[in-house]
Amino acid sequence: MSLASRFTRRRTAAVLTAALLVPLAACGDGDGDGDGTKDSGGKATASAPGVPEADLTVLAAASLTDVFKTAGAAYEKKHPGTTVTFSFAGSQELAAQVKQGAPADALVTADTKTMDGLKADTGAPAVIAKNRLVIATGEGNPKKIDELKDLGDSGLKVVLAAPEVPAGRYSAKILDAQKITVKPVSQEPNVRAVLSKVELGEADAGLVYKTDAEKSADKVDAVAIPDDQNAIAEYPAATLKASKNSAAAAAFVAWLGTPEAQKILRDAGFQQP
Protein backbone atom coordinates (compact mmCIF):
# COMPACT_ATOMS: atom_id res chain seq x y z
CA MET A 1 0.00 0.00 0.00
CA SER A 2 1.39 3.43 -0.94
CA LEU A 3 2.15 6.18 1.58
CA ALA A 4 -0.63 8.26 0.08
CA SER A 5 -3.10 5.42 0.65
CA ARG A 6 -1.96 4.87 4.22
CA PHE A 7 -2.17 8.64 4.79
CA THR A 8 -5.75 8.75 3.51
CA ARG A 9 -6.93 5.74 5.53
CA ARG A 10 -5.32 7.01 8.71
CA ARG A 11 -6.67 10.54 8.33
CA THR A 12 -10.12 9.32 7.29
CA ALA A 13 -10.35 7.31 10.48
CA ALA A 14 -9.34 10.39 12.45
CA VAL A 15 -11.96 12.48 10.73
CA LEU A 16 -14.76 10.01 11.42
CA THR A 17 -13.78 9.70 15.06
CA ALA A 18 -13.58 13.45 15.53
CA ALA A 19 -16.83 14.02 13.71
CA LEU A 20 -18.70 11.84 16.23
CA LEU A 21 -17.60 14.20 18.97
CA VAL A 22 -18.95 17.30 17.27
CA PRO A 23 -22.50 18.33 18.12
CA LEU A 24 -24.91 17.85 15.26
CA ALA A 25 -25.60 21.56 15.19
CA ALA A 26 -22.02 22.19 14.13
CA CYS A 27 -22.70 20.50 10.81
CA GLY A 28 -24.87 23.31 9.53
CA ASP A 29 -27.51 25.86 10.33
CA GLY A 30 -30.41 23.43 10.06
CA ASP A 31 -31.46 24.53 6.58
CA GLY A 32 -29.61 21.80 4.70
CA ASP A 33 -29.53 18.05 5.05
CA GLY A 34 -25.76 17.95 5.76
CA ASP A 35 -25.08 15.21 3.23
CA GLY A 36 -23.75 17.26 0.34
CA THR A 37 -27.04 17.13 -1.58
CA LYS A 38 -28.45 20.00 -3.63
CA ASP A 39 -31.54 22.11 -3.22
CA SER A 40 -34.21 22.46 -5.88
CA GLY A 41 -32.12 25.10 -7.63
CA GLY A 42 -29.17 22.75 -7.98
CA LYS A 43 -27.02 24.62 -5.46
CA ALA A 44 -24.97 22.66 -2.94
CA THR A 45 -26.43 23.09 0.53
CA ALA A 46 -23.79 21.45 2.71
CA SER A 47 -20.32 20.01 2.82
CA ALA A 48 -19.33 16.38 2.48
CA PRO A 49 -20.90 13.85 4.91
CA GLY A 50 -19.51 14.06 8.42
CA VAL A 51 -17.51 17.23 7.71
CA PRO A 52 -18.80 20.28 9.59
CA GLU A 53 -18.60 23.71 8.05
CA ALA A 54 -15.94 25.96 9.54
CA ASP A 55 -13.61 28.89 9.00
CA LEU A 56 -10.22 27.20 9.06
CA THR A 57 -6.84 28.83 9.59
CA VAL A 58 -3.87 26.85 8.33
CA LEU A 59 -0.27 27.75 9.14
CA ALA A 60 1.87 26.72 6.16
CA ALA A 61 5.49 26.86 5.05
CA ALA A 62 6.32 29.77 2.75
CA SER A 63 7.26 27.45 -0.11
CA LEU A 64 3.62 26.28 -0.22
CA THR A 65 2.27 29.78 -0.87
CA ASP A 66 1.25 29.38 -4.50
CA VAL A 67 0.12 25.76 -4.51
CA PHE A 68 -1.93 26.08 -1.32
CA LYS A 69 -3.86 29.01 -2.74
CA THR A 70 -4.94 26.68 -5.53
CA ALA A 71 -5.56 23.82 -3.12
CA GLY A 72 -7.57 26.00 -0.77
CA ALA A 73 -9.87 27.13 -3.58
CA ALA A 74 -10.39 23.52 -4.65
CA TYR A 75 -11.20 22.47 -1.09
CA GLU A 76 -13.69 25.28 -0.57
CA LYS A 77 -15.43 24.35 -3.82
CA LYS A 78 -15.76 20.76 -2.64
CA HIS A 79 -16.87 21.79 0.85
CA PRO A 80 -19.41 24.64 0.56
CA GLY A 81 -19.69 26.64 3.75
CA THR A 82 -16.04 26.10 4.68
CA THR A 83 -13.37 28.75 4.18
CA VAL A 84 -9.63 28.13 4.41
CA THR A 85 -7.32 30.99 5.31
CA PHE A 86 -3.58 30.43 5.10
CA SER A 87 -0.81 32.11 7.06
CA PHE A 88 2.52 31.58 5.29
CA ALA A 89 5.93 31.97 6.90
CA GLY A 90 9.16 30.13 7.54
CA SER A 91 8.55 26.88 9.41
CA GLN A 92 10.47 28.12 12.44
CA GLU A 93 8.22 31.20 12.57
CA LEU A 94 5.13 28.99 12.37
CA ALA A 95 6.44 26.86 15.22
CA ALA A 96 6.89 29.97 17.34
CA GLN A 97 3.32 31.02 16.57
CA VAL A 98 2.01 27.63 17.67
CA LYS A 99 3.97 27.74 20.92
CA GLN A 100 2.66 31.25 21.58
CA GLY A 101 -0.92 30.04 21.20
CA ALA A 102 -1.78 31.71 17.89
CA PRO A 103 -5.34 30.72 16.92
CA ALA A 104 -5.09 28.17 14.10
CA ASP A 105 -6.42 24.77 13.13
CA ALA A 106 -3.69 22.98 11.19
CA LEU A 107 0.01 23.20 10.45
CA VAL A 108 2.15 22.20 7.46
CA THR A 109 5.92 22.61 7.76
CA ALA A 110 8.75 22.13 5.26
CA ASP A 111 10.57 19.61 7.41
CA THR A 112 9.85 16.87 9.92
CA LYS A 113 12.28 18.28 12.52
CA THR A 114 10.15 21.36 13.12
CA MET A 115 6.96 19.32 13.30
CA ASP A 116 8.54 16.78 15.66
CA GLY A 117 9.34 19.62 18.04
CA LEU A 118 5.62 20.36 18.35
CA LYS A 119 4.36 16.92 19.37
CA ALA A 120 2.62 18.33 22.43
CA ASP A 121 0.65 20.74 20.25
CA THR A 122 -0.32 18.67 17.23
CA GLY A 123 -2.11 15.54 16.18
CA ALA A 124 -0.19 12.76 14.44
CA PRO A 125 1.53 14.27 11.38
CA ALA A 126 1.80 12.69 7.94
CA VAL A 127 4.01 13.73 5.03
CA ILE A 128 1.91 15.10 2.17
CA ALA A 129 4.65 16.07 -0.32
CA LYS A 130 8.36 16.23 -0.98
CA ASN A 131 10.63 18.77 -2.64
CA ARG A 132 14.30 19.24 -3.53
CA LEU A 133 16.80 22.05 -3.82
CA VAL A 134 18.09 23.78 -6.94
CA ILE A 135 20.48 26.68 -7.48
CA ALA A 136 18.56 29.80 -8.48
CA THR A 137 20.53 32.26 -10.61
CA GLY A 138 19.74 35.46 -12.42
CA GLU A 139 17.81 35.09 -15.66
CA GLY A 140 20.12 33.68 -18.32
CA ASN A 141 22.57 32.53 -15.62
CA PRO A 142 24.99 35.44 -16.27
CA LYS A 143 27.60 34.10 -13.82
CA LYS A 144 27.66 30.73 -15.61
CA ILE A 145 27.02 28.69 -12.51
CA ASP A 146 27.00 25.02 -13.52
CA GLU A 147 27.20 23.02 -10.32
CA LEU A 148 27.07 23.16 -6.55
CA LYS A 149 30.82 23.68 -6.05
CA ASP A 150 30.62 26.94 -8.04
CA LEU A 151 28.86 28.49 -5.06
CA GLY A 152 32.18 28.42 -3.22
CA ASP A 153 33.59 31.06 -5.57
CA SER A 154 34.44 34.05 -3.39
CA GLY A 155 33.50 36.39 -6.22
CA LEU A 156 29.86 35.29 -6.15
CA LYS A 157 27.16 36.91 -4.06
CA VAL A 158 25.29 33.92 -2.64
CA VAL A 159 22.24 34.13 -0.40
CA LEU A 160 20.96 31.28 1.74
CA ALA A 161 18.09 30.65 4.12
CA ALA A 162 19.03 31.10 7.77
CA PRO A 163 20.29 28.01 9.64
CA GLU A 164 17.09 27.69 11.69
CA VAL A 165 14.96 27.60 8.52
CA PRO A 166 14.35 24.17 6.94
CA ALA A 167 15.75 25.34 3.58
CA GLY A 168 18.78 26.66 5.45
CA ARG A 169 19.34 23.31 7.14
CA TYR A 170 18.98 21.43 3.87
CA SER A 171 21.40 23.87 2.21
CA ALA A 172 23.98 23.46 4.97
CA LYS A 173 23.63 19.69 4.78
CA ILE A 174 24.41 19.44 1.07
CA LEU A 175 27.18 22.05 1.14
CA ASP A 176 28.86 20.38 4.11
CA ALA A 177 28.59 16.96 2.47
CA GLN A 178 30.45 18.28 -0.58
CA LYS A 179 32.92 20.22 1.60
CA ILE A 180 31.93 23.50 -0.04
CA THR A 181 32.44 26.67 1.98
CA VAL A 182 29.99 29.45 1.21
CA LYS A 183 29.99 32.86 2.89
CA PRO A 184 26.49 34.16 2.14
CA VAL A 185 25.89 37.87 1.72
CA SER A 186 22.70 37.36 3.71
CA GLN A 187 20.71 34.64 5.46
CA GLU A 188 16.98 34.99 4.98
CA PRO A 189 14.01 34.05 7.23
CA ASN A 190 12.36 31.88 4.56
CA VAL A 191 13.08 30.42 1.15
CA ARG A 192 10.86 32.91 -0.69
CA ALA A 193 13.03 35.72 0.62
CA VAL A 194 16.09 33.93 -0.79
CA LEU A 195 14.39 33.71 -4.17
CA SER A 196 13.42 37.38 -4.03
CA LYS A 197 17.06 38.43 -3.53
CA VAL A 198 18.04 36.58 -6.70
CA GLU A 199 15.05 37.92 -8.64
CA LEU A 200 15.99 41.49 -7.72
CA GLY A 201 19.63 41.03 -8.66
CA GLU A 202 20.78 41.52 -5.08
CA ALA A 203 22.43 38.11 -5.19
CA ASP A 204 24.02 36.09 -7.98
CA ALA A 205 22.68 32.79 -6.70
CA GLY A 206 20.76 31.12 -3.91
CA LEU A 207 19.62 27.67 -2.86
CA VAL A 208 15.84 27.37 -3.11
CA TYR A 209 13.25 24.67 -3.63
CA LYS A 210 12.66 23.42 -7.15
CA THR A 211 9.00 24.48 -6.98
CA ASP A 212 9.89 28.08 -6.09
CA ALA A 213 12.33 28.38 -8.98
CA GLU A 214 9.79 26.93 -11.40
CA LYS A 215 7.17 29.44 -10.28
CA SER A 216 9.59 32.27 -11.08
CA ALA A 217 10.98 30.78 -14.30
CA ASP A 218 10.49 34.13 -16.05
CA LYS A 219 12.81 35.85 -13.56
CA VAL A 220 15.42 33.25 -12.59
CA ASP A 221 17.16 30.22 -14.01
CA ALA A 222 17.41 26.96 -12.08
CA VAL A 223 20.54 24.82 -12.04
CA ALA A 224 19.72 21.25 -11.08
CA ILE A 225 21.62 19.53 -8.29
CA PRO A 226 22.26 15.78 -8.80
CA ASP A 227 20.31 13.48 -6.52
CA ASP A 228 23.47 12.15 -4.88
CA GLN A 229 24.38 15.71 -3.85
CA ASN A 230 20.89 16.87 -2.97
CA ALA A 231 18.53 16.75 0.00
CA ILE A 232 14.87 15.82 -0.03
CA ALA A 233 12.53 18.15 1.82
CA GLU A 234 9.48 16.54 3.42
CA TYR A 235 6.27 18.41 4.22
CA PRO A 236 4.32 16.96 7.16
CA ALA A 237 0.79 18.15 7.92
CA ALA A 238 -1.05 17.89 11.24
CA THR A 239 -4.03 19.27 13.09
CA LEU A 240 -3.45 21.55 16.07
CA LYS A 241 -4.79 20.37 19.41
CA ALA A 242 -5.86 23.90 20.30
CA SER A 243 -8.14 24.08 17.26
CA LYS A 244 -11.78 24.92 17.93
CA ASN A 245 -12.68 23.16 14.68
CA SER A 246 -11.03 19.79 15.27
CA ALA A 247 -13.23 17.70 12.97
CA ALA A 248 -13.09 20.20 10.12
CA ALA A 249 -9.32 20.59 10.56
CA ALA A 250 -8.85 16.82 10.46
CA ALA A 251 -10.96 16.67 7.29
CA PHE A 252 -8.74 19.25 5.57
CA VAL A 253 -5.52 17.53 6.59
CA ALA A 254 -6.92 14.20 5.40
CA TRP A 255 -7.90 15.77 2.08
CA LEU A 256 -4.29 16.79 1.46
CA GLY A 257 -3.52 13.10 0.96
CA THR A 258 -6.31 12.46 -1.53
CA PRO A 259 -5.72 12.02 -5.29
CA GLU A 260 -7.31 15.43 -5.94
CA ALA A 261 -4.95 17.30 -3.63
CA GLN A 262 -1.95 15.21 -4.64
CA LYS A 263 -2.52 16.10 -8.30
CA ILE A 264 -2.54 19.81 -7.42
CA LEU A 265 0.75 19.37 -5.59
CA ARG A 266 2.35 17.35 -8.39
CA ASP A 267 1.20 19.86 -11.01
CA ALA A 268 3.06 22.51 -9.01
CA GLY A 269 6.24 20.43 -9.10
CA PHE A 270 6.09 18.75 -5.70
CA GLN A 271 6.95 15.07 -5.41
CA GLN A 272 4.67 12.40 -3.99
CA PRO A 273 5.22 11.57 -0.32
Confirm whether 57 is domain-assigned.
Answer: yes
Please check whether residues 121 and 18 belong to one and the same domain. yes
Whether 10 maps to a domain, the answer reads yes
Whether 58 and 143 map to the same domain: the answer is no
R_g (Cα) of the chain, nearest Å:
20
Residue 19: alpha-carbon gap to chain centroid: 25
Tell whether 91 and 174 lie within a shared domain. Answer: no
DSSP per residue, 27-81: G-SSSS-SSS-B-TTS-B-S-STT----EEEEEEEGGGHHHHHHHHHHHHHHSTT
The pLDDT-based confidence of 255 (bands split at 50, 70, 90) is: very high
Is the domain of 178 the same as that of 141? yes
Residues 121 and 189 in one domain: no
Is 139 in contact with 220 (CB distance < 8 Å)? yes
Verify that 149 and 118 share a domain, yes or no: no
CA dist 4 and 271 (Å) reads 12
Closest CA to 63 of 88, 26, 92, 35: 88
Confidence (pTM): 0.80
The neighbour count for residue 48, using CB atoms within 10 Å, is 16
Residue 125 sits in the same domain as residue 137: no
Total tally of structural domains belonging to the chain:
2
The residues, ordered by sequence, that sit 6+ positions from 14 with a Cβ below 8 Å of its Cβ are: 123, 124, 239, 250, 254
Does residue 41 fall inside a structural domain? yes
- Cβ neighbours of residue 261 closer than 8 Å, sequence gap 6 or more: 71, 74, 75, 128, 255
Residues 251 and 124 both lie in one domain:
yes
Cβ proximity of 158 and 199 under 8 Å: no
CATH of the domain at 216: 3.40.190.10
Residue 273 lies in a domain: no
Q: Are 118 and 160 contained in the same domain?
A: no
How do strand 83-89 and strand 55-61 relate by DSSP bridges? parallel
Same domain, yes or no, for 19 and 119?
yes
**11 close to 17: Cβ distance less than 8 angstroms:** no
Nearest to 192 by CA among 161, 224, 237, 164: 161
pLDDT in tens, 141-200: 999 999 999 999 999 999 999 999 999 999 999 999 999 999 999 999 999 999 999 999
Domain that holds residue 203: 132-232
Q: Do the beta carbons of residue 78 and residue 248 sit within 8 Å?
A: no
Residue pLDDT, tens place only, 93-150 = 999 999 999 999 999 999 999 999 999 999 999 999 999 999 999 999 999 999 999 9
Give 50-88 pLDDT, tens digit per residue: 678 999 999 999 999 999 999 999 999 999 999 999 999
Sign (positive/negative) of CA torsion 200, 201, 202, 205?
positive
Residue 22, pLDDT > 60, answer: no
- The percentage of the chain sitting over the pLDDT mark of 70, rounded to a whole number, equals 82
Residues 62 and 119 in one domain: yes
Same domain for 109 and 71: yes
